[in-house]
Structure 1
């Protein structure tokens, strides 16, 4: 996988001023920018250099346009995974359809919005890096499988090893499937959810520029633009937060869950006061855990209880523990009196970016519970929910006892 300081972007445009403008917009991001003044020049560059994370290409160019150039690029196996973003001044459906047909990942419209260009480039560079990581893992798994096949042919004694490694291969494929599903959701958010606030920004900006509104209307338009920008910023931040979470963490240590939960509740003090909420915390156990991650779990669960409360009803949250002696697990319950969840969605709520309500109704992007699940997987634990519509929800966090956690870590 490429380090950020080694990320290369190919920019293709027949106008030197456009190339200079794009390079200037992206210069703070530490990317290596390679410029080409035509489609043919871009193809010549790609004959010798394959390690581009992204291609930004103008559609309208003499001799060979952007769509024709992209079609030729994607004929080569070594280049077919490089995402292409077309830059165009035209927004007709036919042109957009043609661009997606030849393999475009997205469009940026002229005049270029610098902040939008930086956001999109950052998202697609991150997407390309994750794709490359998956391809490397896939190749690694294929190599392992090939080695196993040769060992099976060479000696019968390798059967036991083959069974063990095939089991690992199955587990890795499940992991890859999960990552692919997350990448699909990343792509959806990048191409769909981010478009919605952008459309609002463009529409209301055009209204202001056309000077058809009185001052009060202009103020309302500006407020809508601000709200849309905030929504887009939240989506981008959540994308980055989820993608980076897998590398975050710390050391396991003896943790008093009473202190962890009090810390999480303290962070939500303002929201609790605004909602006039009552938080009841019973005595909780001491476990082996990563304290910062466990605090994030309870922060997200209490925050959800405040967010999905009933109108005109003060939230009540009860946090208590039960011990499962047979399985050597503690079950920490976080019970609220909120709007509840339909039974059919109790599994879906832990899927990244899965929302049961429009963000117009309740703020958020559907990432908090998926992060909770990641953290519990890291702790060899689990999280689930029970609920009735209009009767509240109980989240149950399962954590091993300290001795059990030490045994799992040692194995």
Structure 2
């Protein structure tokens, strides 16, 4: 079975021959025919323009200057008025004694070169070969650009599909993480009443770093900024710190303002009284406060105590302010540490949650 040659440079280039004399056209064809070109003939400027109305794929035009009605220069000027034809080089054929002024006129009309009569076959073949080589390279370059454009579009489509898939995976991961956090909170809540938790010295900086890695998708989704100042090392239950701080950060993200990027600030105060607790209840201990501030929608201060109940409270936007009873769980965790949790807020001015750990724990 014969193979198909898809090489664009192997196709026979087309040359348009223009002359009002049949014998001149036959002579030029006879000289160039051994080089394997295709030929089309035109016997006048008008016929040339008519042919070029429908055919744009000529490699070049060989045109006699002296023709009746429309000469070669006038015909070339009309050809190059059309954008689609400006890529076709024109070589004028003229008498050797035509004069510099007329030669310049040909270049001004758009001609690329001249062949002088009587025609030297070797010169004609050499000049035509140069322009045919340029034509073939341009065809190859154009087809490579088309292929590259097609490939780029396919790559762009694949990249967009991959991005869409990646986004779906991120959304699923975020949803799964929320469900895991919810289950962890429920599990921890059930264990708080029956289990004994070990307390150990924990660097809160490292713990927060790990929490934020797990919550990365939630933070990015809200376009939030979390600013953490250096935190102390405290004797706490490592296993209880995760639901404690994740619930506080999740709460800040969930109740952020519309069209405002959330900003969550976390800092500490060491050797101070417990926030929001009467000294009689807190004893003589000094406390370490961990303060979580946000710029969210806030809540009515008169409901401060209710937000730590298992049922939550009606938020100023009508939503129930709870994260699967997350704040109630935070209160239980702090009680397990002989500590306290306190909230301050105003509607549309954000909220501040302060958790106080006893220094002597």
TM over 0.5: no
Structure label with greater radius of gyration: 2
What TM-score do you get using the length of structure 1 for normalisation?
0.38
Structure whose residues are more often helix by fraction: 1
Greater RCO (Cα-Cα under 8 Å, separation 6 or more) = 2
What TM-score do you get using the length of structure 2 for normalisation?
0.43
